[in-house]
Amino acid sequence: MLAFAQSDIGIVRKTNEDSYVFSPPQLFVVADGMGGHVAGEIASNLGSNTIQEYMKKFITPADWEQVLKEAIIEANTIIFQMSQAKSECLGMGTTVTAIYTNNNEVYWSHVGDSRLYLIRDNALQQITSDHSLVWELVQNGSITYEEAQVHPHRNILTRAVGTNETICVDSGRFLWKPGDSLLLCTDGLTNMLSEDTILNIYLQHDKPQTIVNTLIEQAKAAGGYDNITCILAQYRD
């Protein structure tokens, strides 16, 4: 595996409310916090750190999909409890998209609108579904995917980690093979760049570091209105 991760504040925000876990070759997490002031940053860091610490408890073979879900549920509990205990953190939450790889197996869990993509055979496939108002409109046919990219309410989430006492976590598993790549990213990337642009940048470069840095620079050139976090992992022989 070759992998690289980077987070950038963008060109508008004063703080970076994104966080990530980069622990190759197995655990990768991106999180995008919300809540205003420092609360979003607190939520995303709590989410990422809790998941990383929870996964360290399991060093023997396990049902990694279930364990990853449980890690996000644990993060939800901790973030929610802090939001109730501290007035400045009230209402804070975070997106979480996490993967755990075990040889050729990929396990994923997800809440929010950060995304996991599989890049295979020169095509980009979105594995996760956004938990957002506009994604629901796309799913029921009310608007097109292209309209969703510029919809004024595209940042309204329908589900986030830490905003409620309980959480429903999407999860799944699939096999990847040599030549495949996994891209995890926050919406600071996908709100700025189309999937065609993301794929074209990927195809124009070889090394994960170059790809990630180019994606971030292009997102900033397109406006950079939000924090931008990307992790790219490539399955190499």
Percentage of the chain with pLDDT > 70? 98
Q: Which domain holds residue 60?
A: 2-234
Residue located via tokens 């804070």: 92
Mean pLDDT of 70-90: 94
Stated as kind and residue range, the H or E segment containing 92 is: none
Domain count, the chain: 1
Number of C-beta neighbours around residue 75 at 10 A: 30
**CB contact at 8 A, 146 and 86:** no
Kindly list the strands in the beta sheet with 170-175, ordered across the sheet, starting from the edge strand earlier in the chain. Answer: 18-23, 27-34, 93-102, 105-111, 170-175
Mean pLDDT of 80-93: 91
pLDDT > 80? residue 139: no
Q: Which helix (H) or strand (E) holds 111?
A: strand 105-111
In the predicted structure, residue 36 carries a pLDDT above the cut 70: no
pTM exceeds 0.95 for this model = no
The CATH number of the domain holding residue 188 is 3.60.40.10
DSSP state, residue 179: T
Report, as an integer, the average pLDDT of 61-74: 93
Q: Look at residue 33 and tell me whether its pLDDT is greater than 80.
A: yes
In terms of Cα–Cα distance, which of 222, 157, 160 is closest to 190? Answer: 222
Q: How far apart are CA 236 and CA 92, in angstroms?
A: 39
> Does 38 have pLDDT greater than 90?
no
What does the mean pLDDT of the chain come to? 93
User: Is 136 a residue whose pLDDT tops 90?
Assistant: no
Q: What is the mean pLDDT of residues 12-23?
A: 95
Q: How far apart are CA 44 and CA 92, in angstroms?
A: 9
